[in-house]
Structure 1
Amino acid sequence: SLTGESEPQTRSPEFTNENPLETRNIVFFSTNCVEGTARGVVINTGDRTVMGRIATLASSLEGGKTPIAVEIEHFIHIITGVAVFLGVSFFILSLILGYGWLEAVIFLIGIIVANVPEGLLATVTVCLTLTA
């Protein structure tokens, strides 16, 4: 239930609280009357109801990044920076040593690719599985 009550709650026509979740004179859609009689009046529909506002708030929540996602992204940025730095360094060094530009580009690409940790995905998956 919306209010968290598992047992039947008494209701009355008297206004008891400003909060629509706490007052005794309001029931929500799909409320069952288990004893007595009642007459209902619809006061709001759709997104203007309490349920509609709760649904709107719940659907508008944006999932933030988890701490592990932030750390993995930080690690990837560091590895990328190191790989690009080393690749460019060896590119310049190979040009200085007299290699052709094509060979220097091959050095650049090779060093950048070699710095990509191929086991990173498997390692992160195993670590997350062990900690779960």
Structure 2
Amino acid sequence: VDNSSLTGESEPQTRSPEFTNENPLETRNIVFFSTNCVEGTARGVVINTGDRTVMGRIATLASSLEGGKTPIAVEIEHFIHIITGVAVFLGVSFFILSLILGYGWLEAVIFLIGIIVANVPEGLLATVTVCLTLTAKHMAKK
């Protein structure tokens, strides 16, 4: 029986009618939903269905996990807050400075918007993607 969809084992496992272990994943007399018979024939009796199966339990556990933020997501969010703060601070500073120097409201607002937009890194997504790809390649080599 090929259990790779359930356990990740690459080699097929033999099955027999004998009870060998209390753990359903270890005993040799149970075949699971989503596994394939690669050799031989068999007859079976269904002992659990739906959420009571091993796959059902795994699905229940997976669906009950909370979707917390990953460390990289927290760091990127922190970086974006810093960039936003700097951009807004510089934009407001140049807005006030342009009003003091005698520019009109329209020119001051254009300075404000221009400086805020100029401080947002356009290549941030590409840079993060490249860094994550290089890190994954480095980890794969280890």
Q: Same fold (TM over 0.5)?
A: yes
Two-structure CA RMSD over aligned residues (Å): 3.7
Greater alpha carbon shift after TM alignment, 103-112 vs 3-12: 3-12
Residue 87 of structure 1 and its aligned partner are, at CA, apart by 0.8
Matched, 1:86 2:90: yes
Normalising by structure 2, report the TM-score.
Answer: 0.62
Residue 115 of structure 1 and its aligned partner are, at CA, apart by 0.9
Greater alpha carbon shift after TM alignment, 41-50 vs 105-114: 41-50
Structure 1: distance between partners of 2:90 and 2:45: 73
**Higher share in helix:** 2
- For these two proteins, the number of residue pairs brought into alignment is 131
For each residue in 1:73-104, what CA deviation from the matched residue of structure 2 results, as whole angstroms up to 9, or x when unmatched? Answer: 22221111100011112222323333322222
Greater C-alpha Rg: 1
Residue 13 of structure 1 and its aligned partner are, at CA, apart by 6.8
Gaps of 5+ in 2: 136-142
Tell me if the contact between 2:20 and 2:27 (Cα under 8 Å) persists in the aligned partners.
yes
Residue 22 of structure 1 and its aligned partner are, at CA, apart by 3.6
Structure 2: distance between partners of 1:61 and 1:124: 26
Structure 2: distance between partners of 1:102 and 1:93: 14
Residue 15 of structure 1 and its aligned partner are, at CA, apart by 6.2
Which secondary structure does the structure 1 equivalent of 2:107 belong to?
Answer: helix
Residue 49 of structure 1 and its aligned partner are, at CA, apart by 1.2
Structure 1: distance between partners of 2:71 and 2:21: 41
Structure 1: distance between partners of 2:130 and 2:41: 60
For each residue in 1:28-51, what CA deviation from the matched residue of structure 2 results, as whole angstroms up to 9, or x when unmatched? Answer: 347788999976432221222122
Percent pairwise identity: 100
